[in-house]
Chain A
Amino acid sequence: MDLAFTKEEMAFREEVRAFFRDNVPPATRQKMVEGRHLSKEEMVTWWRILNKKGWGVSHWPKEYGGTGWTSVQHYIFNEELQAYPAPAPLAFGVSMVGPVIYTFGNETQKKHYLPRIANVDDWWCQGFSEPGSGSDLASLKTKAERKGDKWIINGQKTWTTLAQHADMIFNLCRTDPGAKKQSGISFILVDMKSKGITVRPIQTIDGGHEVNEVFFDDVEVPVENLVGEENKGWDYAKFLLGNERTGIARVGVSKERIRRIKDLASKVESGGKPVMEDQAFREKLAAVEIELKALELTQLRVVADEGKHGKGKPNPASSVLKIKGSEIQQATTELLMEVIGPFAAPFDVHGDDGSNEAMDWTAQIAPSYFNNRKVSIYGGSNEIQRNIITKAVLGL
C-alpha cells in the first residue's frame, strides 16, 4: 500500500497543467470560474484544441484515438481539467455514445462516427428520459417501427441536455412492445435534422436553457442506424451508464469552487472583517473540505482498483461517488450563497455582455446554486443510488 503519487504521475500532472495554462482560451476559463454558460463555439473551439493534442477521447482504446493512459493518469487529467477549470469533453459523445459504438457498433459505424465524435463534428445529445420515464427508465414509450429500410420513430424525449446544439441524438426506443419492459428496447442513432423532430427549450429555475424536450413525429431513420442487435438496447444503455463511474464525483469541480469561496470570502466583509475570518464560517467550509478529501480518496481507491483489476467488477465504494459528489457540489454552492449574502439577489444585471462589471462577481452565484440542485437528480437520483447500494452492496 502506497498512497503517494509516483514521480512519473506527478510529472504527468505538471504536463497536463501546463497544457491547460497555455491552451485554454482565457475568456472560456473566466466564464467557467464565474459559473456562466459557454457558447457552443467556445466549447467546440476548446475541444478541438484538446483533440489536436490527442487528448480529446483520452480513455478510448488506442486504435480509436485513445491515449493508453493508466487509470491514475485519467484521474489526474480529469481533476486538473475540472480544477483549472476548462470544459470537459462532451460526455454525450465522448463518454456515452462513443464507447457504445466502438464496443457494439459495426465497422461502418465506427469508421464514420468515432472520428467525428472526437473532433466534435457531430454534437451528440442523449434520448433517454421521457415525461413518464425518469427513474423507471425501462418503462419508456417512444416507439420505433420497422418499415422497409427505415425505422419510423414516434414519441417524446425530455431533459435532453444541449439538444439545441445537437447534430445527432442516441435514442432508446421501444421496438418490441410485446416483450417484458427491458427486453424490447433498441439503441438507435438519429440525425437531429430529420423531418419530424421538434426541439422545445425548457427553462430551468436558474433561468438557463440547458435542457429540452424533443418530439418525434413520424421521424424516418435509416435501418443501419441501429447499434448492435435489435431489442438489446437496454444492455447497451446499462453499459453506457456504468462506463463513467469515477468522473461523476467531480472532485476537481468542487476543489475549484472551494478556492473561489476562499477567494470571495477573503474579500467580502461582515461585521468589519472578512467572512473568511469568521470561525463559524471557517468550520463549515472545513467540514466540506474534509468530506471532499474523503471523497477524493474514495475515488482514488476505485480508480486504483480499476487499474489493477479492470472495470469488470466495480469496487463497492464506487456507488459512494455519485451521492457524496453531488452533496458536496451542492454544499459548495450553498457556501457561495452564504458568502455573498444580500448580493445574491440581483437578477441578470448585465447579461453576458459585462455591462455592469461591479456586479460580475455575484450575478451567477444564486443561479449556480439553483442549477446545482440538479446534480442529485440526474444520472440516477441519489435515492436510486441508495437503492443500488442496498441491493448490489448490502444484499438487502
Chain B
Amino acid sequence: MDFDLSEEQRLLKESVEGLLGDAYDFDSRKKYMKEPGGWSKAMWGRFAEQGLLGLPFAEDDGGFGAGAVETMIVMEALGRALVIEPYLATVVVAGGLLRQAGSAAQKEAHIPSIIDGSKTFAFAQLEKNSRYDLADVTTSAKKKGNGWVIDGEKFVVLNGEAADTFIVTARTKGGQRDASGIGVFLVPANAKGIARKGYPTQDGLHAADVSFTGVEVGADAALGDVENGLPLIERVVDEARAALCAEAVGLMDESLKSTVEYLKTRKQFGVAIGTFQTLQHRAADMFVAVEQARSMSMFATMACDFDDANERATAVAAAKVQIGKSGKFVGQQSIQLHGGIGMTQEAAIGHYFKRLTMIENTFGDTEYHLRRVTAGGGLVK
C-alpha cells in the first residue's frame, strides 16, 4: 500500500506538467483547435519528443513499458491543461488494442508510427443504436478470400477527422447484440469505400461520422480473435475509462482552483465573495467531491491490472459513477460560483465544464455504470 509516486513517475509528472505549462495556455488551445483535423501537429510532435506517446508500449516494441499509473499521470495533466490532442484515441485505445492483441507484424507496422508521432488513430466503435453497449454491433465484416469486406456506419469517432487509421469493431457472425462474433479490424483511413464527415464536438475536440461501404482489407487487418473480440474491447475500453477518470480529476482540480481564486478576488457588497459562508461551503463540498473522485480514479487505475475481468469491470464502472457525479457537481458549481463570467465562451472555466460533461457521456454515463455495478453484485461482498 503506497500512494506516493516513484521517482520516475514524479519526473514524468513534472515533465508533462512542465511542457503543458509552457506551451498549453488557454489562448494557444484556441489556435490549436483551428488547425486541420482540430488539433496541433506541432504539439503532438513535442509529446513524441518527450516520450509521452511511447509510454505504455513494451520496450521490445520501442516503448517505455509503463503501466496504468503512468497513463493516469499523463491523463490528469492533459485534463488540467484542457488538451485536445488525440492521446486517448491513439495511445490509450488504439495503443491498448495493439498491445493486447497485435501480432508481431501488426505491432511492428503500427506501434513505431504512434511512438514517433507520425500517425494517429481513431476507434470506430459507436453505432446509431448501440449507445453504450460494446456488444451491440451491426457493422459487418465478411470474409472474402483471405481478407475481409467491411460495411456499416460509425458515429462520433473521436479524432475521426484526422486519423490515419481506424480501428473498427465489426460483426463477423451472429445477431446485433450477441456477445460473440465481434472482430476488431485495422483499416487505413484512405481505403476505398470510406467516407467521413468531420465536426467539432461540444468540448472542443474533433470527431467524425464514418461510413464503410464495401471496404476491403487484407487478412492482416484482423486484430486478435475475429470471432471473440469482445473481451479485448471490454478490457481496452475499461483502460480508456480509467484514463478518462484521471483526465476528469485533472479537470476538476483545475476547476476548483480557478473557482477558489475567483472567490478570493471577486468583490461584491464591498468584500470578496469568498467571505460568504454559503459560497465557502459550496467550495468545501466541491473539494470533497474532487477528493472522492481522485480516490476512485486511483481505484480504476489499479483495476486495470486486476486478473478477474468481472472485478475489473465492476471497479472501473464504480469509478466512472463517482467521476460522473463529482464531475457534474464540480462543473456545475464552478459555473454557478463564477456567476455571469462562467457563462461566457471567453472564460476557460466553461470549457472545463463542457469537457467534464462530455466525459460523463463517453464510454458509458453514470446511470449505465451504476447498472453495471449492480450487475456485478456491488462492491461490498
Contact = CB atoms under 8 A, between A and B. Distances in A.
A318 B281 CA distance: 17
B113 interface: no
B260 A323 contact: no
B295 interface: yes
B296 to A, nearest CB: 5
A100 B373 CA distance: 44
A2 B283 CA distance: 31
A254 to B, nearest CB: 8
A1 B4 contact: yes
Interface stretch (A114-122, A136-144, A208-216, A384-392): A384-392
Interface string A371-396: 00000000000010111011001111
Interface residues of B, number: 41
Interface string B279-321: 0110111011001111110110110000000000000001001
A320 B380 contact: no
Contacts of A5: 1
B295 A298 contact: yes
A386 B284 contact: yes
Contacts of A383: 281
B176 to A, nearest CB: 23
B105 interface: no
Contact of B264 (A3, A295, A396): A396
Contacts of B347: none
Interface in A289-341: 289-295, 297-298, 300-301, 304-305, 308, 316-317, 320, 323-324
A294 B292 CA distance: 5
Contact of A320 (B288, B301, B318, B370): B288
Interface residues of A, number: 47
B2 A2 contact: yes
B1 A304 contact: yes
Contacts, number: 139
Contacts of A385: 284
Interface in B322-381: 322, 370-371, 373-374, 378-380
Contacts of B264: 395-396
Contacts of A320: 287-288, 291-292
Contacts of A316: 287, 291
B269 interface: no
A283 interface: yes
Given A293-B296, A396-B263, A390 B3 contact: no
B379 A279 contact: no
Contact of B296 (A258, A285, A294): A294
A72 B322 contact: no
B146 interface: no
Interface string A1-26: 11111100100000000000000000
Contacts of A293: 296, 299, 318, 379
A289 B9 CA distance: 31
B285 A386 contact: yes
Contacts of B322: 290-291, 294
B2 A1 contact: yes
B380 to A, nearest CB: 4
A1 B9 CA distance: 9
A6 B2 CA distance: 10
Contacts of B277: 387
A179 interface: no
Interface string B1-36: 111111001000000000000000000000000000
20 contacts: A2-B2, A4-B1, A9-B1, A258-B378, A262-B380, A283-B370, A286-B321, A286-B374, A290-B373, A290-B379, A293-B318, A294-B296, A300-B1, A304-B3, A320-B288, A387-B277, A389-B287, A393-B287, A396-B260, A396-B274
Interface of B: 1-6, 9, 69, 260, 263-264, 274-275, 277, 280-281, 283-285, 287-288, 291-296, 298-299, 301-302, 318, 321-322, 370-371, 373-374, 378-380
